Amino acid sequence: MRTFLRLSLAAVTVVTLLHPCTTAVVSGKATADGRPLLLKNRDADELQNRLVSIQGLRFRFVGLVNSADSLNEQVWSGYNETGFAIMNSAAYNLKRNDTTALADREGYIMRHALEVCRTLADFESLLTALPKPLGVEANFGVIDANGGAAYFETDNFRFTRYDATDPAIAPNGYLIRTNYSCAGEENKGMGYIRFSTAEKMFRDEFRARRLSARFLVGEVPRSLFHAFTGTDLSRNLPKDEKDTTFAFFRDFIPRYYTSAATVVQGVKPGETPALTTMWTALGFPLTSVVVPVWLLPDGSLPAILTADVSGNAPLSTFALELKKRLFPVQNDAKENYINVALLMNRKKTGLRQKISPVEAKLTAEAERLLASWRSGGISVAAQRTFYSGMDEGLIPRIRTAVARP
């Protein structure tokens, strides 16, 4: 607690920026395999993100941090060795008549929670005990190894808990939040279109009994459907990559400022928390590859997801370089327009279409390993081998795939 207090006092006034993330908390009763899921599609001013593994005050944890955060003080999603996981989306409708200057402390609180919390009850106790004002306006999504799955809609002085396991609150066993809170002022905040898009996708997948980690991290952050206009950029595709077609690109779940997508796949009650998996796409999800991460005993992570000599994660850097091809070079609101033909086309020569087979092969191998570990025990040697294979070959495989005519 002393560390958190020191950090809070050190930053009384900060500049508030918009971080329009799309998130979901999914209980085990809603998923195809009975394991809870925690989704964060992260939109941020810092486009370079990386993973870290840190021995905290009580627990070791894996966290997503800004590459520029050299001290790893703020974590934006992650999980610890007990199977406790947390993420957030900023809310913009909770502070009624609150003029508190302290703000943007969500990342500090999430790091602290990963260091000391084992359960949802622990996190609730932490929020209650921390000195006020908290300096936050956020929807904190949390799961644990006991089957807990909930949002804590939190402002400077109070929070409201919404459990995804409560049928009165979440009849289908999942909850979605963008950038407004159900406990806040109605028709305020942001992200209503993205919420509607995600809600439709989840509803369709739930009815088909297919809610899974692969869907949450592989499809939701890459959806090209727009719930308000009914536009679906993945339909009526251009003929080929030469058929330049720029489309207006606002209020989709993926955005120009999307910097990462993560899904923490928890465990069933009674399973070892060491099976918790964080499926991670660094950089820009439409040009990145989803990589699974497990918390090894020594805390080692794939090198492609951690800082290299530049301070950035190689996979993030590579995905962001590919992303540049999709947006116009001119600076006249270039974030509002995307080159659909270079992303996807009828000849299947778009970047996403070339990258997808690489990801599919990687995901299938990871899922095979997880199945074997769930039935026969975890092999740390196999985890290390998997990491080594990704570090040595993943980016070269992507580079070869996107270079094909």
Domain layout of the chain by residue ranges: 2-403
> What gap in Å lies between CA 337 and CA 342, rounded to an integer?
12
Report in angstroms the alpha-carbon separations of 28 from 146, 348, 370: 10, 36, 17
Q: Which CATH architecture has domain 2-403?
A: 4-Layer Sandwich (3.60)
Read off the pLDDT of residues 60-73 as tens digits, 9 standing for 90 and up: 999 999 999 999 99
Burial class of 249 by CB neighbour count within 10 A (0 to 12, 13 to 18, 19+)? buried
Report in angstroms the alpha-carbon separations of 215 from 74, 191, 206, 219, 263: 27, 21, 11, 5, 10
DSSP E strands: which ranges in 136-257? 138-143, 149-154, 159-163, 174-177, 246-248
pLDDT (tens place) for every residue of the chain, 405 residues total: 434 433 443 343 334 445 689 999 999 999 999 999 999 999 999 999 999 999 999 999 999 999 999 999 999 999 999 999 999 999 999 998 899 999 999 999 999 999 999 999 999 999 999 999 999 999 999 999 999 999 999 999 999 999 999 999 999 999 999 999 999 999 999 999 999 999 999 999 999 988 999 999 999 999 999 999 999 999 999 999 999 889 999 999 999 999 999 999 999 999 999 999 999 999 999 999 999 999 999 999 999 999 999 999 999 999 999 999 999 987 788 899 999 999 999 999 999 999 999 999 999 999 999 999 999 999 999 999 999 999 999 999 999 999 977
For residue 325, what is the DSSP state?
Answer: G
Contact 242, 349 (CB under 8 A): no
